[in-house]
């Protein structure tokens, strides 16, 4: 059971993700964006960074990288596909996830721990968590402000696909806690099948005591569990 962690030019969180997945017992390997296949991987993570310099729009160029054809195929086969931060932006641009990520409300780069509340456990992102759980995860982005059409927002809510919302430490979703101004305070969403998901905060940076939080472990565990379940299906 292998996870491919894709490296685009400008990706900078790939080693963190590989390290965190291996620490949880997973098998993870880096795959270059120019490769046409995912080296036999059963699941894929698109990690954070600045793919192709974030030129044009975040993720706009990356979605046409050769490897994305293989990511599409894996997603269509029901295998887990996880986008973290820039990877989330790439999945939205690729149309594998709905909506888009635009500049933060206050036009400032945000680099600090935030709290997110688990809203759904129906996807690979939080299957091992409990609805209402509050996770403290580092956020590190300028274009983290989630947006979608009103129709899509309604569909997401009606189909239990809003996975994470920004909240205060007690789990209350407030305007102040919604640090980047995301629509409906959305920090993470999933596709209709639940096997493709993305989030702006970094679970891999909260996966070891030495990092100050282990709240990200449940996210990575959920992904690894989905990986095993999808493979035996």
Partner 1 sequence: MRVVVSITRKDGLSDPEGATTAKALRQLGYPVGEVHFGRTITLEVDAADAAAARAAATDMCTRLLANPVIEDFTVFVSEGEAVR
- The question of whether 204 is a catalytic residue gets the answer yes
DSSP lists the bridge partners of residue 198 as: 83, 189
Q: Is 206 in the site for partner 1 (CB under 8 A)?
A: no
- Return the residue matching tokens 């979703």: 173
Note every long-range contact of 180-184, with CB atoms under 8 Å and residues 24 or more positions apart, other chains counting.
180/104, 180/105, 180/110, 180/139, 180/141, 180/144, 180/145, 180/146, 181/104, 181/105, 181/106, 181/145, 182/144, 182/145, 182/146, 182/147, 183/99, 183/145, 183/146, 183/147, 183/148, 183/153, 184/153, 184/157
Binding part of the chain for partner 1, among 90-98, 110-118, 169-177, 190-198 by CB under 8 A, reads 90-98
Nearer to partner 1, 92 or 118 (CB): 92
Query: Applying CB under 8 A, does 148 fall inside the site for partner 1?
Result: yes
Cβ closest to partner 1, residue 191 vs residue 222: 191
Residue 202 among the catalytic residues: yes
Interaction between residue 228 and partner 1 (CB under 8 A): no
Nearer to partner 1, 150 or 210 (CB): 150
Q: Does 134 bind partner 1 (CB under 8 A)?
A: no
Q: Alpha-carbon distance 7 to 227, whole Å?
A: 20
Closest CB 110 distance from partner 1, rounded Å: 14
**How many other CB atoms are found less than 10 A from the CB of residue 10?**
16
The answer to the question of residue 189 lying near partner 1 (CB under 8 A) is no
- The yes or no reply on residue 173 touching partner 1 (CB under 8 A) is no
Asked whether position 72 contacts partner 1 by CB under 8 A, the answer is: no
> By CB under 8 A, is residue 56 in contact with partner 1?
yes
Tell me whether residue 14 is one of the annotated catalytic residues. Answer: no
Whether residue 3 contacts residue 43, with contact meaning beta carbons closer than 8 Å, is answered with: yes
Place of tokens 């999933």: 190
Residue numbers of the site for partner 1 (CB under 8 A)? 56-57, 60, 64, 92-93, 98-100, 102-103, 105-107, 145, 147-149, 181
Q: Which residues are catalytic?
A: 85, 202, 204
């Amino acid at each position: 059971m292998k996870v491919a962690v894709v490296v685009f030019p400008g990706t900078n969180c790939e080693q963190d993700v590989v390290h965190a997945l291996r620490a949880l017992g997973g098998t993870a390997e880096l795959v270059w964006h120019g490769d046409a296949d995912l080296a036999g991987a059963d699941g894929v993570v698109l990690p954070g960074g600045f793919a192709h310099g974030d030129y044009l729009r975040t993720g706009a160029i990356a979605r046409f990288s050769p490897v994305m054809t293989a990511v599409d195929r894996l997603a269509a086969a029901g295998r887990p596909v996880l986008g973290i931060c820039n990877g989330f932006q790439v999945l939205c641009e690729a149309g594998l996830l709905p909506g888009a990520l635009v500049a933060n409300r206050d036009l400032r780069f945000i680099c600090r721990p935030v709290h997110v509340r688990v809203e759904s456990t129906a996807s690979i992102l939080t299957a091992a968590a409990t609805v209402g759980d509050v996770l403290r995860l580092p956020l590190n982005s300028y274009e983290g402000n989630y947006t979608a059409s009103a129709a899509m927002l309604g569909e997401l809510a009606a189909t239990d696909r809003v996975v994470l919302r920004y909240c205060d430490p007690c789990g209350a979703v407030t305007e102040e806690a919604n640090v980047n101004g995301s629509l409906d305070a959305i920090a993470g969403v999933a596709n209709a099948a639940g096997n493709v998901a993305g989030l702006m905060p970094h679970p891999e940076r909260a996966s070891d005591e030495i990092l100050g939080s282990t709240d990200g472990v449940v996210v990575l565990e959920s992904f690894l569990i989905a990986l095993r379940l999808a493979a035996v299906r």
